[in-house]
């Protein structure tokens, strides 16, 4: 059975930490494909600084060079808050014969029980928990059944740090893909 990873996020902006986490998950969990899903209206955090179109375009630029990565605009096309359960349910309906693996960072794991229709979400997919290099954040000691761990730790890069560097006029080379850095500069994002 084909296994497809779903990696959601604000991607404000997408950075090499996101891409490395997806690649580690692809290898360790035997995923044939990873679909990046930029959030339209994230319900659990402040609105992104970049527009939905800019974040989608950056995700497309970042994933274009990988044959097993692609980007979906499904949350951007749906009105209202972007709930993960709705996104996964839409993929489940479109791909009934595919095993879906929702990729989340280990730092997100403690928050999942508070997500909309969490119990239903767990019936629609397997959780793929990617280790995050975040020693200052608590990680849930146990996780739900149906979870797969990705043991390769991600890169210590955050969107917040990338935005702060751009606002301060500092380089983001080797933190984001070159095409993303060029797009950010051309559009004057995060200044």
Stated pTM of the model: 0.92
114-145 residue pLDDT tens: 999 999 999 999 999 998 875 444 444 444 55
- 158 CB-side CA count, 13 A: 8
Q: What pLDDT does 153 receive?
A: 81
CA-wise closest residue to 103 among 127, 82, 68: 127
Those residues whose C-beta lies under 8 Å from the C-beta of residue 54, and which sit 6 or more positions away, are 183, 187, 189
2-22 residue pLDDT tens: 999 999 999 999 999 999 999
**How many Cβ atoms are within 10 Å of 80's Cβ, its own excluded?**
9
37-79 residue pLDDT tens: 999 988 878 889 999 999 999 999 999 999 999 999 999 999 9
Could you give all domains of the chain from N- to C-terminal order, each with its CATH number? 3-156 (3.40.50.620)
Whether 157 has a pLDDT exceeding 90, the answer reads yes
Q: What pLDDT does 144 receive?
A: 54
Cα–Cα dist 102/5, whole Å: 6
Q: What pLDDT does 146 receive?
A: 65
Those residues whose C-beta lies under 8 Å from the C-beta of residue 4, and which sit 6 or more positions away, are 31, 32, 33, 34, 35, 91, 95, 98, 99, 100, 101
């Amino acid at each position: 059975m084909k296994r497809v990873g779903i990696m959601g996020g604000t991607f404000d902006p997408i950075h090499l930490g996101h891409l490395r986490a997806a690649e580690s998950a692809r290898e360790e969990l035997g995923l044939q494909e990873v679909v990046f899903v930029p959030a339209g209206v994230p319900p659990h955090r402040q609105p992104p600084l970049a527009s939905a179109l800019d974040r989608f375009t950056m995700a497309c630029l970042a994933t274009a060079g990988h044959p097993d990565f692609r980007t979906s605009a499904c949350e951007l096309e749906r009105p209202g808050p972007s709930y993960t359960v709705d996104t996964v349910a839409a993929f489940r309906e479109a791909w009934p014969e595919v095993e879906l693996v929702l990729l989340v960072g280990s730092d997100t794991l403690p928050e999942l029980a508070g997500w909309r229709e969490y119990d239903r979400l767990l019936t629609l997919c397997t959780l793929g928990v990617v280790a995050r290099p975040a020693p200052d954040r608590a990680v849930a000691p146990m996780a739900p059944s149906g979870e797969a761990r990705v043991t390769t730790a991600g890169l210590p890069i955050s969107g917040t740090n990338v935005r702060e560097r751009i606002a301060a006029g500092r380089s983001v080379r080797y933190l984001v893909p070159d095409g993303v850095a060029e797009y950010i500069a051309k559009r004057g994002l995060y200044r």
